Amino acid sequence: MTHLLYVALGGAIGACLRHLVNLAGLKWLGPNFPWGTATVNIVGSFAMGLFIEVLTRRLGGSQELRLFVATGLLGGFTTFSAYSLDIAGLWERGAISSALLYATGSVVLSIAALFAGLALARTFA
């Protein structure tokens, strides 16, 4: 049960950071492009790669630290970082086709699902 606390605490911090980055993007760069979201996706993916390689693979970081930082903080900051890590894991295991299918399929199907949800909600509005 304590593993959920690590994830929840990290997730709360990450979500707050994401919100602050989005606010900063709107204030500094305006609403014409999702700068905040793009920033958290790129920064979060970079941070995930750095964290996973340095702390868990080279320094033997604990499971609790991984749950707090990777699943919680970075997952709350951007789920794109987890998505990127999944693709890298498939790629590094030699499952190139699966990595490419997952990368393209997730994006295309997620966007299609969003539009389907919008359409359904608009039907009943």
Tens-level pLDDT at each residue, the chain (125 residues):
899 999 999 999 999 999 999 999 999 999 888 899 889 999 999 999 898 888 877 788 889 999 999 999 999 998 788 889 899 999 999 999 999 999 999 999 989 988 998 998 889 87
Report whether 73 contacts 13 (CB < 8 A): yes
Instruction: Write down the H helix ranges in the chain.
Output: 2-29, 35-51, 63-66, 75-77, 79-92, 96-124
Q: What is the pTM of this model?
A: 0.78
Q: How far is CA 120 from CA 112, 114, 124, in A?
A: 12, 10, 7
Query: How far apart, in whole angstroms, are the C-alpha atoms of residue 122 and residue 92?
Result: 42
